[in-house]
A and B are shown apart, each in its own frame.
Chain A
Amino acid sequence: MTMALSPSSPESPAGASRGKALAAAAIRLGALATFAAIMAYFALTARGFATPFNIVNVIEQSAILGILAFGMSVVIIGGGSEVQTGGIDLSLAANAGLCAAVFATATNAGLPAPMAIAATLGTGMLVGAVNGFAVVGLGILPLLATLASMNIVAGIELTLTENTVLSTSSPLLSVLSSGRFLGISALAWVLIAASVIVGLVIHRTPVGLRLYAVGGHPEAARAAGLNVGLHVWGTYVFAGLCAGLAAILIVSRLSASTPGTGELLLSILAAALLGTVFSRRFVPTVGGTVLSVIFIGFLANGFQLLHLSSYWVSGVQGALILLVVAVTSYARPQEH
C-alpha cells in the first residue's frame, strides 16, 4: 500500500549527534581543566596546600563523603539521571546521622563491636529498604519520597540523642581513627577498598551493566527480561548500607556521634552529580565520583587555608550542582 519515500524519522542527522558528542567531550575536558586550574591556583596562593601531608589529609577527610557519594551515585545509576524523576536519595546524610547515633548508643551500651556494626548497618539498610518501598512499591517520586524519609530519619536521630553529642570509644574506633598500614591511614584504606569494590561491581560485572540499563531506559530493561523494581530497590538498600558504613567512619573520626551530619547532603549531591561530567554518557561512574569527592575535599581545604569562611563552601557546592545539572541537561541528547 505504501511506497515510502521519506517516512518520518525522528532521528537528528548525523551532524547534530556529532555536534553533541563534541560538546560532551568539551564539557569533560573543560571540567578536568577547571579542576586542574583551581588546584593550581590553590597550590600557588594557599600556603601548605601542595604539601604531601595536606594531600593525604584531604584524602582521609574525603573517605566519609566518598562512601556516601558512592551510595548516591548508585541510586542515580539505577534510577536514571533525569533530574526531576530520576533516582536520588535525599535521606542519605540524615540516615548516616541516625546510624552514627545508633552506633554510638550501641557501643556505649556495651555491645560487642560486631553486634554494634550489625545494628548500624542494619539500621541504614532498613531506612534504604523503606525508601525503596516508597519509590518502587508506592510509586512516589524519589525526590519526594526521600525528602519525607529524610525528615523522619532526622526526627528519630533527635529522639535517640536528644540533640546531644554522644561520645564513645572502642578499640575498633581507635584502629579506624589512628591505625596506619604502609604509611596510609585506615580511613584512606577504607576509601580505597570501597572504590575498588564498588568500581569492580559497577563497571566490571553484569550487576552494574543492568543497573545502568534500568536507569537509562526502564522499559528497555524490562523488555530485556530484567526485574526493574528489584534493581531500583536494591540501589536504595545499597545507599542505606553506605550510610551505615559512613556512620562508623564518622564516629571513629569524631569519637562521637554529633548532630548536624545531615548537612553533608549538599556535598554528597554535589559529588555524585559533578561525577557525571566525567563520563561520555553523562551518568555517574565510580571514577568520576572519586574525582569529584577529592575535588570537593580540596575545595574546602583550599578555602580553609586561604582563611575564607567555610560558609562559602556551601555556596560553591550549590552553584556546582546548578552548573552541572544545567550543563549535562543541555548536552544530553533528547531521548524519546
Chain B
Amino acid sequence: MSGLAIDMTGISKAFGPVKALVDADLRVARGTIHGLVGQNGAGKSTIIKVLAGILKPDSGRITINGTRVESLTPASVERLGVHFIHQERLLVPTATVAEAVFLNYELRFGPFLRPGAMKRRAEELIRTHFGLELPGDTLVRDLTTAQQKIVQITRALAQEAKVLVLDEPTAALVKREVDSLFAVLRNLRAQGIAVIFISHYMQEIEDLCDEVTVMRNGTDVGVVRPGETSIDEIVSMMIARDVGEMFPRRSHALGAPVLRVEGLSQAGHFRNVSFEVRAGEVLGITGLLGSGVKELVECLFGLEQPDAGSVTIDGEVRRFANPGRAVQGRMALVPEDRRAHGVATDMSVRDNITIASLDRYMTRGFVSRARENEAVDGFIRELSIKTPHRDQLVRNLSGGNQQKVALAKWLSCQSRVYVLDEPTVAVDVGAKVEIYTLLNRLAAEGAAILFLSSDLLEIAGFCDRALVVYRGTLNGEFAGETLDSDLLLAAASGARAQRKEA
C-alpha cells in the first residue's frame, strides 16, 4: 500500500465551454499537512468538490487510501474516511454540541438515542484533541466562531476521519485561536491523519504545511515544500507575475491636505484623535478589535456620531448625519461587511455600480440606459470584474469580484475622500493586487484615501503612512523606515509606549 492518502491524477472537468480543471493532480501523503493554494477560479474548489463527490470529473483517476474509486458520492467519500470542514460554519444553531458532533451518526440503544453517551463522548473528544472543556449540552448558537470550528472538526474526528479537508478554516479566527487550531492539526498529523489545508493566508501555509500544491488556471503548476520555497515564489507561481508587484508603488507627489480630523472623540470608543490625509495619499489605520478604530471610521462616514471634534474636507467643516450626507459630501465608504452594507447581492452588477450616482446618467429626467451601460462596461473592463455580463446578479460573483463592484460604485461617484474598511478580507491574491492598483489610480487622481486594515503586512507594504489606535487613542504614526509590521504590532498591542515619529 502506498503512503498516499489521496491520489487524484489527471482530473479534468468542464462546465460547457469553461474548463474548470485540466489534467490536474493532487497527491497527499498520510500524516502530512498539505496546502492547496491558488487564486479564486484557479480550480481549488472544483478539485475539492470532485473529491467530495459533489462534482463528477470528466476524466481522471482517484485513489483514496489505496482504494481505487470509480464514482464518488458525498456519502461514499465519508465512508472512506474523508471529511470536509466547510468554510461556512455549517452547524445547526439550535443543536447542542453533542448533537452537532453526532448528527446522522447518532449513538443509540436499539431505536433510541443515548444522549448521555453522546455528551460524554463529545466532551472527551474535545478534551483529548483540543485540551478544552466544552460542555456537551451547550447550544451551538452560544459558541464563539472558534468553538464552532472545533465542533466541526470534532464531528469529523468522531467518525474516525483519515483525511481532513479544511477550507479557509482561519478566516474568522483571531490569532490565539489560529495557533490552537494549528496545534490540533499538527497533533492529528502525528496520528497519521492527512490534512488538506486551503487558505489565502500565505503566512499560515508557510507555518503549517509540509507540502503545497499550487494551482493556476485549472491545473497544478507545482508541488513545493515551504521550507525550500519562499512565500514570494509561491505567490508568483499562483499569479504568474512577479511578487514585487504585490504592493504596486505610487510615484505621484502628494498635494494639500484634503481630510482633516481634529480632536474627534466618542465616549467609550476613542478620544481626541487628530490626523490629516493629503491629496494623493494613502493613510493606513489599524488597531486591535475593541481599540475604537472601527468606531472612528464609522464616525467619519456618518454611521456613528462623534461627541466632540471636527472633520474638515477641503477646508470646509463637515458633519454627516448619515451616510447619504457623506456621499453628497464627496466621501465614499467601502464597508467591511460588503454583503450587509457594500453591495446589494440580489441586484445586477450594473445597478450596484450606478445606484449611488444615478443623477450622472440622467437625460431629461430619465436614467439613460445607454450611458449607464457604457459606464458600467468601462468599470468591468478597467477593474477586470469577472462577470459574464453586466446584468449578472452580484450574489453569483466571487468575494473579490463583489468587492470590486463595491469599489466601482464609489468610483462612479468621483469622491474626494475614500474610506475603506478591510477592503481585502477574504479576497484572493490576484484580486488584492487589482484593488491596490485601482486605489493607486484614485490616489494619483488626487483622492485622499484612508485605509483601515488589520493585515499589518498590507498596511506596511501598501500605505504611505500609518496610524495605530490603541485603547481609543493614537499610539504612534509610522512612515518610511518605521512603517514596519513588527513596529505596528507593538504599537497596536500596547507593547510600545505612545510616541510620535515623523
Residues of A at under 8 Å CB distance from B? 1-11, 14, 17, 21, 200, 204-206, 209-210, 212-213, 216-217, 219-221, 223-226, 280-283, 333, 335
Contacts and interface: CB of A to CB of B under 8 A. Distances in A.
Given A2-B455, A7-B454, 15 more contacts: A1-B231, A5-B175, A6-B288, A7-B170, A8-B422, A10-B145, A204-B112, A206-B104, A206-B106, A221-B92, A225-B75, A225-B78, A226-B103, A333-B141, A335-B93
Contacts of A210: 103-104
Nearest to B178: A4
Nearest to B461: A1
B304 interface: no
Interface of B: 74-75, 78, 84, 86, 88, 90-95, 99, 103-104, 106, 108, 111-113, 139, 141-142, 144-145, 155, 170-175, 178, 200-204, 231, 235, 286-290, 336-337, 422, 425, 429, 454-458, 485, 489, 492
Most buried by A among B91, B200, B337: B91
Contacts of B108: 205-206
B103 A221 contact: yes
A69 to B, nearest CB: 20
A149 B202 CA distance: 56
B92 A216 contact: yes
A224 B454 contact: no
Contact of A2 (B91, B99, B458): B458
Contacts of A225: 74-75, 78, 104
B201 A4 contact: yes
Nearest to B77: A225
B286 A5 contact: yes
A281 B86 CA distance: 24
B92 A212 contact: yes
Which A-B residue pairs are the 4 nearest by beta carbons? A6-B289, A216-B92, A5-B454, A1-B202
A12 to B, nearest CB: 10
A21 to B, nearest CB: 7
A5 B489 contact: yes
27 contacts: A1-B429, A3-B455, A3-B457, A4-B170, A4-B175, A5-B286, A5-B454, A5-B489, A6-B287, A8-B172, A8-B336, A8-B422, A8-B425, A9-B144, A9-B145, A17-B141, A205-B113, A210-B103, A210-B104, A212-B94, A212-B99, A213-B92, A213-B103, A221-B103, A224-B90, A281-B139, A335-B141
Nearest to A201: B111
Nearest to B206: A1
B144 A11 contact: yes
A335 B171 CA distance: 18
A4 B94 contact: no
Contact of A4 (B144, B145, B336, B454): B454
Contacts, number: 138
Given A10-B172, A225-B74, A212 B336 contact: no
Contacts of B456: 3, 5
Nearest to B200: A1
B454 A6 contact: yes
A206 B455 contact: no
A5 B458 CA distance: 12
Contacts of A223: 84, 86, 90
Contact of A220 (B90, B202, B235, B289): B90
Nearest to A220: B90
B57 to A, nearest CB: 21
Most buried by A among B95, B103, B336, B492: B103
Most buried by B among A1, A9, A225, A280: A1
Contacts of B202: 1-2
A223 B78 CA distance: 11
B337 A219 contact: no
B242 to A, nearest CB: 15
Contacts of A200: 112
Contacts of A6: 174, 287-290, 454
Contacts of B99: 209, 212-213
B235 to A, nearest CB: 8
A159 B91 CA distance: 47
Nearest to B432: A1
Contacts of B201: 1-2, 4
A205 B202 CA distance: 45
Given A3-B485, A206-B108, A223-B86, A283 B103 contact: no
Contacts of B286: 5
A137 to B, nearest CB: 21
B144 A219 contact: no
Given A3-B203, A3-B489, A205-B112, A217 B457 contact: no
B145 A213 contact: no
Contacts of A333: 93, 141
B289 A9 contact: yes
B106 A209 contact: yes
Contacts of B95: 209, 212-213, 216
Contacts of B204: 2
Contacts of A21: 142
A220 B142 CA distance: 17
A14 B290 CA distance: 14
Nearest to A203: B113
Most buried by B among A5, A206, A280: A5
Nearest to A21: B142
A284 to B, nearest CB: 11
A226 B425 CA distance: 32
B104 A226 contact: yes
B61 to A, nearest CB: 25
Contacts of B104: 206, 210, 224-226
Contact of B91 (A8, A204, A212, A220): A220
A219 B425 CA distance: 24
A8 B454 CA distance: 9
A281 B202 CA distance: 40
A221 B78 CA distance: 15
B103 A205 contact: no
A333 B139 CA distance: 11
Contacts of B144: 9, 11, 14
A217 B106 contact: no
B288 A5 contact: yes
A268 B32 CA distance: 57
Contacts of A4: 170, 173-175, 178, 201, 454-455
Nearest to A20: B142
A281 B141 CA distance: 10
Contact of B94 (A7, A9, A281): A281
Given A2-B203, A226-B104, A335-B141, A216 B455 contact: no
A7 B498 CA distance: 24
B259 to A, nearest CB: 24
